[in-house]
Amino acid sequence: MKPSDGGGGDYINSSPDTGGIGNSKTWFSYEELHAASNGFAAQNILGAGGFGCVYRGCLQDGTEVAIKKLKDNSGQGDREFKAEVEIISRVHHRYLVSLVGYCITDFQRLLVYEFVANGTLHYHLHNSNKPFMPWSLRVRVACGSAKGIAYLHEDCHPRIIHRDIKTANILIDNNFDAKVADFGLAKIAQELECNTHVSTRVMGTFGYMAPEYASSGKLTEKSDVFSFGVVLLEIITGRKPVDETRPLGDESLVEWARPLMTEALDNQNFDELADPRLQGNYDRGEMFRMIEAAAACVRHSAVKRPKMSQVVRALDTMNELSDISNGMKPGQSGIYDSREQSAQIRMFQRMAFGSQEFSSEQNNSHSSRSSGGRSGIARGRSGQV
């Protein structure tokens, strides 16, 4: 693989003083990527979107890559490109797609990613010409993608909000490990250190956007959590987030699933929610935990949603008796009773509700209720979330 030497007016050298992102990434010439993709041939297209197309390519050393080529003269695409280069250069994680290199010319912007050979989660769940995805692989992909998003939110420096979590942006390798992709819409969350939320122009995909983000542009990590909850519902049900072929009122996956999740968690009958193609072939404890996690993630109230690290812990301990629901049923909120909880659960509560709400609710709490044998975290008042 021969990087460009930066010669000629069309190419920018990758040194830091000319706008590169450092020596850890490879700068490609446009000619190299043109050749790698066989002239950006139509048969090499892996996907397309508002930004342009992604092509399969093969570098001179035989490395297979995915080349993201922005549409010409696309102002939005240029912004997405700059955000992606800035962000992906900082990200290194097993469950996130890696940036191999990039190219900026006077007339083109391209990103070069590792090639993930086994398609997207959307493809495996919704392609009618492919055998349905078995439950064990669905759980594996859910756990891996949750870890990738949790890394972006909590372990990346600076922290990152993805803004477009969806099954089409979760790639699957040959070992059926998930890799979260497409950071073109991502937002570096530096402002979150001082502010409750970041206000930004609304971007993302209909059916996955959190209600507060879609309506007001208020962006926090909890916006991604909602989107991941929709992904979990897709994994559980096999349904798309919006399906206009469904009966009136059932087009939205989240709204259709809300009452069914309540019922399933109450009576542990999962028949109405589970993908019928599974024919009951799933672990009931895992199904319970997946539904519980999905219900917590898609709460109306952002502050009541768990952090992604909590979702990871819940999915990593599928058969243990911890309760990501915080003792709340879908459609309910609750308040905290410290007398019944361990130090670890108190920390869970602070992370879930924020210190101000946590303190006021702790002081005002006068009653508690149990939660069906699980370790309930929230207690008391009920109301729509």
Q: Summarize pLDDT for 289-342 with one digit per residue, the tens.
A: 999 999 999 999 999 999 999 999 999 887 555 556 655 555 554 333 333 334
Give catalytic residue positions. 164
> When comparing pLDDT for 7 and 267, which is higher?
267
pLDDT in tens, 127-169: 988 888 999 999 999 999 999 999 999 998 778 888 889 999 9
Q: 306: which 2 tokens?
A: 């768990």
Q: For residue 364, what pLDDT is reported?
A: 39
Is pLDDT at 204 greater than 90 in this prediction?
no
Sign of the dihedral through C-alpha 329, 330, 336, 340: positive
pLDDT above 80: residue 281: yes
Nearest to 102 by CA among 69, 57, 55: 69
Q: Give the percent of the chain with pLDDT over 70.
A: 66
Residue 130 is given by DSSP the state S
- pLDDT confidence tier of residue 360, bands split at 50, 70 and 90: very low
**Euclidean distance between CA atoms 107 and 41, whole angstroms:** 19
Q: List CB contacts of 296: < 8 A, sequence separation 6 or more.
A: 229, 304, 305, 306, 311, 324, 325, 326, 328
Which helix or strand (DSSP H or E) is residue 123 part of? helix 121-126
Q: Report residue 77 as tokens.
A: 């695409």
How many C-beta atoms surround the C-beta of residue 40 within 10 A? Answer: 16
Lowest-pLDDT range, 94-98, 165-169, 359-363? 359-363
User: Could you read off the pLDDT of 24-39 as tens digits, one per residue?
Assistant: 457 899 999 999 999 9
C-alpha angle 105-106-107 in degrees, rounded to nearest 5: 90
Burial of 61 (0-12, 13-18, 19+ CB in 10 A): exposed
- CA pair distance 242, 30, nearest whole angstrom: 38
Residue 227 pLDDT > 70: yes
Q: Is 187 annotated as a binding residue?
A: no
* Block residue for tokens 């308040």: 335
Which H or E element spans position 297?
Answer: helix 284-297
> Using 50, 70 and 90 to split pLDDT, how confident is the model at 187?
low
**CA separation for the pair 330, 82 (Å, rounded):** 39
pLDDT band at 185 (very low <50, low <70, confident <90, very high): low
What average pLDDT does the structure give for the chain?
A: 76
Is 60 exceeded by the pLDDT of residue 48?
A: yes
Gap between the Cα atoms of 78 and 73, Å rounded: 8
- Domains of the chain (ranges plus CATH)? 16-114 (3.30.200.20), 121-320 (1.10.510.10), 326-385 (no CATH)
Tell me how crowded residue 50 is: count the other CB atoms within 10 A of its CB: 13
Give residue-wise pLDDT tens across range 74-92.
555 566 666 667 777 778 8
Task: For residues 201-219, give the mean pLDDT.
Answer: 79
Amino acid identity at 251: E
Q: What angle do CA 170, 172, 177 make, to 5 degrees?
A: 105
Residue 110 has pLDDT above 80, yes or no: yes
> Does the reported pTM lie above 0.85?
no
pLDDT category, 9, cuts 50, 70, 90? very low
Q: What is the pLDDT of residue 370?
A: 36
